[in-house]
Amino acid sequence: MGKVIIFQASPRKKGTTAALLAEVAAGAQSAGAEVVEYNLNDPGLRGCQSCMSCRREDAVACVQKDYLNPMYADLKDASGVVLGTPIYMSTITAQAWILVDRLFPAMGPDFAPRFPGKKFGTVITQGAPDPVAYSANLAGVLGFLSSLGWENAGNVTWAGAEGEPSDNLKTQAFELGKSLA
């Protein structure tokens, strides 16, 4: 049985991003995976402090003892990772950037991946009606996740996000979850 980690980077716990992430979770669970969710808007979350402790050869986690610290143990045996974020100001949310910074320990001091072999996906929600409007801005985040030794299993984008997701989007998110299990 696999483990899928879902990172919810929206400040709205029940917004459009959460609606699609629920489908990802259902898909992963239908394939027998354990689902672990992290709400990146948690007030107990701290950004990277640039202490460089994670650059030590024996380090496998950030030394900060906060809400996100258990993530590193979860990453060790996870089969898949999902980042769900709305688009704010043409890019991922500040909450999502904290995750990107806090994934620095997922690379060794030589920048070799410490937790390779995972699959990842993204769930993007945006008000703009063009689904590729911000794809160039997101390319850096996708490249970073790939540099961790992770394979992109798919990206679900809800353009013009409002109301309830379409059945097609729900199916895409569900299938992404299954593929990550």
Q: Could you give the domains of the chain?
A: 3-180 (3.40.50.360)
pLDDT at 10: 97
- Rg (C-alpha) for the chain, rounded Å, is 16
- Supply angle C-alpha 45, 98, 126, rounded to 5: 115
pTM of the full structure:
0.96
pLDDT at 60: 86
pLDDT band at 71 (very low <50, low <70, confident <90, very high): very high
Q: Please, what is the average pLDDT of the chain?
A: 95
Would you say residue 30 has pLDDT above 90?
yes
32-46, 51-65, 110-124, 159-173: least confidently modelled range: 51-65
The residue-averaged pLDDT of 133-146 equals 95
Do residues 2 and 152 lie in contact, with contact meaning Cβ atoms separated by under 8 Å?
no
Would you say residue 167 has pLDDT above 80?
yes
pLDDT at 1: 72
pLDDT at 37: 98
pLDDT band at 164 (very low <50, low <70, confident <90, very high): very high
Report the alpha-carbon distance of residue 149 to residue 99 in Å, rounded.
17
pLDDT at 70: 94
